[in-house]
Chains A and B, each alone.
Chain A
Amino acid sequence: MRAAALALAAAALAACARPGEQRALDDALVGIADDAGLHVVITDRLGAVRTLTQGRLEVWAAAPAIELTVDVATGGAGRWQITIANALPDAELREGGAPLGVALPAPRPTVLVRDVDLAPGRHVLTVGPADAAGPMRIAAMADIQTGLPTVDEVFAAIATVNPRFVVCMGDLTERGELDEYALFDRQLATLPVPLYTTLGNHELWAEAARYQGRYGPASYQFTFHDVAFTFADSGDAGLDPIVEDAVGEMLAAAADRQSLFLTHFPPVDPVGIRDGAFRSRRDAQRLIGTLATAGVDLALYGHIHTYAEFEHAGIPAFVSGGGGARPERWDGIGRHFLVIDLAPGQPPIVGVRRVD
């Protein structure tokens, strides 16, 4: 009886040993939709198809430049209103290099709306700005959670430093509730630039599909201005082997360019004894070894509601959990975000800005 109970417990523990596996599998299906005579695939899963109904296609962009392959069946041919949310303000919708469709009024600078006539057949559409090189400034933040009702103040502060876009290391919400996501989207109206993010452990308080359906995959990579941004899903305080393998491949592919790595949990807490980090330090160290091997230039984390600047394996790393969540006390920082200046051939320059 006792042995059976032990075996049962062991099986239960083994079964939950990969809590992120299904999420990693689901990531592969993000950015694909099929309805109303259209089959839409976002290349490299860099976005989410939020709406696909007769005559209306709405996509959330998870990168400054994305590509959509749209197969139009006979029944889908005709006029379509294509909306790209979370786009750079100067992004343009193009097909074959030429601007596509008629611009319609958009509710905010990060939304692009076009009235497009789609003929049957395959259309490869791109969304992105004209610039592709040169120095740029970005902002980084994480851990909004209970600060969601006032995160517009953080966004407004970020807007003052004129970043090209914002990267976020997760914990957009406190509980992953639908009304929280809706509020987050409304608060983004304050931000004149797009925000690219991964999820945090608080998004996992509800089904991760809510996140993936709105903001795209949790693990992905994009390159902009020859800088690779690699986001990894560490929402369960670790990387699922599927994610770890994918991250290894993405980082290796970016080894010859400037490379930033972003995930929610710091692999190792800069205050080691606190261990607000991966659930296995050995797994964390293996990941850090991968980052070092791939020549990552900068690692950005959240989860701990403070600011910390440190190094692991010689890689500059920052924890910035000042998006408004209940702050760590006595750390003298409060709400804040990072300002990162990136220039070709130069190490990233990182500064911190307080909001309050």
Chain B
Amino acid sequence: MALVAALVAAPAAAAPPDPPPAGPPAAGPPPAAASPVDSPAAPGSPAGEPPAGEPPAITPARRAAAIALAAIPGLAVPGLGARVVGERRAARQLLALRAIGLGMMVVGGVPLLVTYGSAKLVVPGVHLSVAGSGLFLVGWWADVYAAAGGGAGAPRRRAPIELVADATWIDDEFHGGRELIGVGGRGHRGRWTLAGRVAGAHDGALAQARVDAAARVWRPDARATGSGVDVRAAIDAIRDGDDDLVTVTGELAARGRLHLGDLDRALAGSFVELDAGLGLQAVDYRAGDADLAGVLISRFAGGVFLPCARGEVAVFYDHRRDTLAGGLPAGRAAGFFGSVGATAEVAITPTWIAAAAVEFGSARLATLGVRRGLR
């Protein structure tokens, strides 16, 4: 504890005063990564101090300590890693982010616990809990990221039109392995996005079609992958011949992404994303009447942009259990949790993008795909 206190109290090789926020994310040059070793003072700056706006110089030992502190006690102490590397403003921003997240978890979760899942409180309660968990956990992870010196990543700007081809492997305990081969496309114009995808199994037993439409209501450039808020709608239809089921789901949600570089330079290249909304699902069984059931859409993700604006990698939690993945068999909490997974997209060339995703729920999904950007 004394060591932690000393690390936090001692300035990180003359930590700079709080820098201003990095400003809106741009697809331009990424912020410079912190040097892993001590560097000489910049010309014109006082000895031992980096110029304003530059990251402080950190010794490898201090960097390692910061990462370790951010990763373990940092779960409970927001911004600990950033503070140890002298990024005090980033530390305060992370404290605020995680405090907001914790507050949302408490405000949303406690009434659900107290009322034992009252139907009247489900929508706000789950949305607040999941979104709050996202802010809390991504804030934790972003502290590790800042302690590690951040990255050189920047948001990628998508092509106006992208064509997609992908293959999804699905494994579940009932069907074993199944595959879906999909093609689709996505177009952006101003604030608007329209996307569609059809996919089918080679034996025709499983088929999926999906149409997505979105309007960017904050920072209205639908091609930008940095901060922004979309209002989105989708229709998703799945025909599963193995189960004699047809489901059609309508979705309406708001999806927001915050490039944490907007909060502080030290967090540039990392982001948090939240998706919240409602849906309605119609299902036609092999026998009997069709049913309608509500769907709660609640998801969070955290990730990093790749260097040179070449893409992004993210991990996510999706509270939905009506998708092909279903929910995790989570022991005593079975029937409560949704799925977890990761996504990645990497621009191999300016027009060719490789994409991959894995998702773990009741079923396990892995997707590999390629996108072709058209100018």
B203 an interface residue at 8 Å Cβ cutoff?
A: no
B327 an interface residue at 8 Å Cβ cutoff?
A: yes
Chain B nearest CB from A311 CB (Å) reads 7
Task: List which A1-55 residues lie within 8 A (CB) of chain B.
Answer: 6, 10, 13-14, 16-19
Stretch of A107-115, A187-195, A234-242 lying at the B interface: A234-242
Known: A17-B329, A279-B326. A241 touches B173 (CB 8 A): yes
A282 an interface residue at 8 Å Cβ cutoff?
A: yes
CA distance A289 to B284 in the complex (A): 9
Q: Which residue of the partner chain B has the closest CB to A290?
A: B286
Task: List B contacts of A171 (CB < 8 A).
Answer: none
Which of these, A279, A303, A330, contacts B327 with CB under 8 Å?
A: A279
CA distance A130 to B331 in the complex (A): 44
Chain B nearest CB from A166 CB (Å) reads 24
Task: List A contacts of B159 (CB < 8 A).
Answer: none
B40 an interface residue at 8 Å Cβ cutoff?
A: no
CA distance A330 to B122 in the complex (A): 13
CA distance A273 to B336 in the complex (A): 12
Which of these, B245, B294, B330, contacts A282 with CB under 8 Å?
A: B245
Task: List B contacts of A283 (CB < 8 A).
Answer: 174, 326, 362
Chain B nearest CB from A120 CB (Å) reads 46
Task: List B contacts of A305 (CB < 8 A).
Answer: 116-117
Contact A18 B173 (CB under 8 A): yes
Which of these, B117, B281, B286, B289, contacts A304 with CB under 8 Å?
A: B117
Task: List which A221-273 residues lie within 8 A (CB) of chain B.
Answer: 236-238, 240-241, 244, 265, 268-269, 271-273
Task: List B contacts of A288 (CB < 8 A).
Answer: 285, 288, 291
Q: Which residue of the partner chain B has the closest CB to A286?
A: B243
Q: Which of B118, B245, B336 has the most CB of A within 10 A?
A: B118
A137 an interface residue at 8 Å Cβ cutoff?
A: no
CA distance A327 to B116 in the complex (A): 7
Known: A272-B281, A289-B245, A313-B291. A205 touches B332 (CB 8 A): yes
A204 an interface residue at 8 Å Cβ cutoff?
A: yes
Contact B335 A286 (CB under 8 A): no
Instruction: Give the size of the chain B interface in residues (CB under 8 angstroms).
Output: 54
Task: List A contacts of B326 (CB < 8 A).
Answer: 279-283
Which of these, B116, B172, B295, B328, contacts A272 with CB under 8 Å?
A: B295
Q: Which of A19, A244, A285, A292 has the most CB of B within 10 A?
A: A285
Contact B361 A280 (CB under 8 A): yes
CA distance A274 to B321 in the complex (A): 11
Task: List which A307-356 residues lie within 8 A (CB) of chain B.
Answer: 311-315, 326-331
B259 an interface residue at 8 Å Cβ cutoff?
A: no
Contact A313 B293 (CB under 8 A): no
Chain A nearest CB from B279 CB (Å) reads 9
CA distance A139 to B287 in the complex (A): 28
Task: List A contacts of B119 (CB < 8 A).
Answer: 271, 274, 306, 328, 331
A278 an interface residue at 8 Å Cβ cutoff?
A: yes
CA distance A319 to B7 in the complex (A): 56
Give the number of A-B contacts (CB < 8 Å): 169
Contact A331 B118 (CB under 8 A): yes
Contact B321 A19 (CB under 8 A): no
Q: Which residue of the partner chain B has the closest CB to A327?
A: B116
**Range for the number of chain A residues in contact with chain B:** 35 or more
Contact A312 B291 (CB under 8 A): yes
Contact A279 B329 (CB under 8 A): yes
Task: List which B304-322 residues lie within 8 A (CB) of chain A.
Answer: 321-322
B253 an interface residue at 8 Å Cβ cutoff?
A: no
Chain A nearest CB from B182 CB (Å) reads 18
Task: List A contacts of B115 (CB < 8 A).
Answer: 328-330
Contact A244 B123 (CB under 8 A): no
Task: List B contacts of A285 (CB < 8 A).
Answer: 243, 245, 247, 283, 285
Contact A328 B117 (CB under 8 A): yes
Contact A329 B287 (CB under 8 A): no
B375 an interface residue at 8 Å Cβ cutoff?
A: no
Which of these, A265, A292, A328, contacts B116 with CB under 8 Å?
A: A328
Contact A281 B118 (CB under 8 A): no
Which of these, B174, B285, B335, contacts A237 with CB under 8 Å?
A: B335
Task: List A contacts of B285 (CB < 8 A).
Answer: 285, 288-289, 292, 313
A198 an interface residue at 8 Å Cβ cutoff?
A: no
B324 an interface residue at 8 Å Cβ cutoff?
A: yes
Task: List A contacts of B324 (CB < 8 A).
Answer: 282
A144 an interface residue at 8 Å Cβ cutoff?
A: no
Chain A nearest CB from B52 CB (Å) reads 36
Contact B335 A277 (CB under 8 A): yes
Task: List A contacts of B120 (CB < 8 A).
Answer: 330
CA distance A329 to B116 in the complex (A): 7
Q: Which residue of the partner chain A has the closest CB to B113?
A: A326
Task: List A contacts of B329 (CB < 8 A).
Answer: 16-19, 236-238, 279
CA distance A268 to B336 in the complex (A): 13
Contact B334 A19 (CB under 8 A): yes
Task: List A contacts of B337 (CB < 8 A).
Answer: 279
Task: List which A160-199 residues lie within 8 A (CB) of chain B.
Answer: none
A101 an interface residue at 8 Å Cβ cutoff?
A: no
For B93-135 the 0/1 string (1 means CB < 8 A from A) is: 0000000000000000000001111111011001000000000
A89 an interface residue at 8 Å Cβ cutoff?
A: no
Task: List B contacts of A271 (CB < 8 A).
Answer: 119, 122, 294
CA distance A308 to B125 in the complex (A): 21
Contact A293 B286 (CB under 8 A): yes
Known: A237-B335, A279-B334. A10 touches B294 (CB 8 A): no
CA distance A206 to B144 in the complex (A): 37
Beyond A6-B358, A238-B335, 13 extra complex contacts between A and B, CB < 8 Å: A16-B331, A17-B362, A19-B334, A238-B329, A238-B362, A279-B326, A281-B326, A289-B288, A293-B287, A306-B119, A313-B289, A328-B116, A330-B118
Interchain Cβ contacts under 8 Å between A and B, 25 examples = A10-B364, A13-B328, A14-B171, A18-B173, A201-B332, A201-B334, A237-B336, A238-B335, A268-B293, A272-B294, A273-B122, A273-B278, A274-B122, A275-B321, A275-B335, A278-B335, A279-B327, A282-B243, A282-B323, A283-B174, A293-B287, A313-B290, A328-B116, A329-B114, A329-B115
Q: Which 9 A-B pairs have the closest CB atoms?
A: A280-B326, A237-B335, A313-B288, A292-B288, A272-B293, A272-B294, A314-B289, A280-B362, A279-B327
